[in-house]
Structure formats: C-alpha cells, structure tokens
Amino acid sequence: MDILIQVIVTGLATGGLYGLIALGFVLIYKATSVLNLAMGDFMTLGAFVCFTMLTQVKVPFYLALLLTLVAAIVLGIAVERIILRPLIGEPVISVIMVTIGLGIILKGGMYIIWTPIFRSFPQIFPPKPFNLGFAIVPSGLWWGFVFAIIGTIAFLLIFKFSRTGVAMRAVASDQQAALSMGISVRWVFALAWCFGAMAAVIGGIVIGNISGISVYMGDIGLKVLAVIILGGLDSIGGAILAGFIIGVLENLTGLYIDPLVGGGAKDVAPFFILVLILMIRPYGLFGKELIERV
C-alpha cells in the first residue's frame, strides 16, 4: 500500500508538470483555434535560453527566468505577426502544418546553436525531496507541481476577471462579434501566443532541471497531446485535471504492467489513453461539443 501511495503522489506531481505544458496548448487554442504542434520546441528553446543565461551570462536564476519569459514573449509575437497572421482565413490543416514546420525549424536552429549534446541543467531548486509524511516527492517534480498550480490560478484569474481575459473570451467565442465591439483580434492573437509561449518555457525549465536538456526534449509535447484532448482543447482547468489523470495512470502502468511485459508500457500508456479518448469522447472531459446544422 505504501508503494501504491508513493506512485500515486509522484504521478500527481508528474501530472502537474504535464498540465503546465498543456496550458501552452490550451491558451493558444482557446483564443485562436490553432493547435500549436511546435509547443514542445518552444519548451526546449526556453530551457536552452535559461541554461545559457545561467551558465554563460552567469546571472541569478530569478533574472534568468525573467529574461527567458521576455524571450518567450518576443517569440510569441514574432510567430503570430510573421508566420500566422498571413494565414488568417486559411484552412485549419494549413495552419497546423505550418506549426509542424515551425517546430522543425526551431529544432534545427537549436541543433546548430547548442548541438545535440545532452547537458545537465544547473541546480535551481533545493535538492532535498519534499516529505509529505505519507509520501516523498522529488524536488523537481514538487516545484513543477507548484508552478502548474500557480500558473493555472493566474491564467484563470486573467481569463475570468481582467479586461484582457474578457477580450480573449470574446474572440474565442465569435471573432466577428468581437471586432464589432472594438476588440483587436490581432492583438488578442498575439497575446495568446505570448501566454502560450510563457507557459511552455516555464515547463521546459522545470523539465530541464529534472532530467537535463537536449534538442530532443520537446518530444514530450506529443505526450501532452493526450492531456489536452482528455481535458478538452479549450479548458484551462481541464488541462490540469487531465494532467493529473495521465500522470497517475502512467505511473500505475509502470508499477503493474511494465513488469509483466518487460518494460515500455509506461511510455505507451498516454497514447493508448489518447486513442480511447478519441473513440469515446472526442471533445474531452470539459471540451465544448460543437453542433453544426446542415
């Protein structure tokens, strides 16, 4: 029973980290209806920028984090202005393919600048595990969980109570109506990409601190697809809850199924869950089911 509790608690902490990365997907999709498949590479780029600030520029972590967030904002604005704005009104599949190409370009650029060498991230969190009494959570996972909760609360407050959040919800609901009310749809799109990029780079920094960084660490973005589909593509709270579910199920698979099949089931579990979700509930637990009349 003690092992089971430990596995569940660790799964919840891991799921919080998945939810944090999923926020980047959801924030962009919620306002722009674009599924950004380059999010994993946004995450990797943020980790490399922070790593460079810490190891080459030698700035304190809080300043490195601030500069990385500024870089995320610049990246978000540049992508929206230069790449995606000309695609407004184009088929959704065209935009999705562009985000795939963007991810390949970013990965290639990181390959050239930082090379494919694996690097250990400087210790930015206290190394001592967090003892809950009934379970012990590794430091990196604990802080990832904390960042996920803080990020979720912050973005929920922005969406629910700020003028910016009202504008983003209006654009997500009906772009033409939002335009008629004087809301700048282009500004909202740029803001959504900035928020999404910021969530991604924070996730990248936390993951880098846990497992190190390389140009291939963004592949976790594919695993997070199961999270956002389970939670609903446009649900912020759903992304975090789904992250917890996927994290726990993944760890339980590692505990009970991996020994029976010789390993590997834990890595496949999120994608197996993804297939089941698409078959049973394509809109996720909290997604909006759209009904088209013909």
Each as own residue / partner, the long-range contacts of residues 149-157 (CB below 8 Å, 24 or more positions apart, any chain) are 149/16, 149/240, 151/20, 151/23, 151/199, 151/202, 152/19, 152/20, 152/23, 152/236, 152/237, 152/239, 152/240, 155/23, 155/27, 155/195, 155/199, 155/236, 156/236, 156/237
pLDDT 10s per residue in the chain (294 long)? 478 888 888 888 888 888 888 888 888 887 777 888 888 899 999 999 999 999 998 899 889 999 999 999 999 999 888 888 887 777 778 888 899 999 999 999 999 999 888 888 888 878 788 887 778 888 878 887 887 788 778 877 887 788 887 888 787 777 778 888 888 888 888 888 898 898 888 888 888 888 889 998 888 877 888 888 888 777 777 888 888 888 888 888 888 888 888 777 888 888 887 778 777 777 777 766 655 444
Residue 61: CB atoms within 10 A of its CB come to 16
Question: Which pair of tokens denotes residue 258?
Answer: 């991996």
- Is the domain covering 2-128+142-280 a CATH 3.40.91 domain? no
Q: How many residues does the chain have?
A: 294
Each as own residue / partner, the long-range contacts of residues 53-58 (CB below 8 Å, 24 or more positions apart, any chain) are 54/122, 54/124, 55/122
Q: Where are the domains of the chain?
A: 2-128+142-280
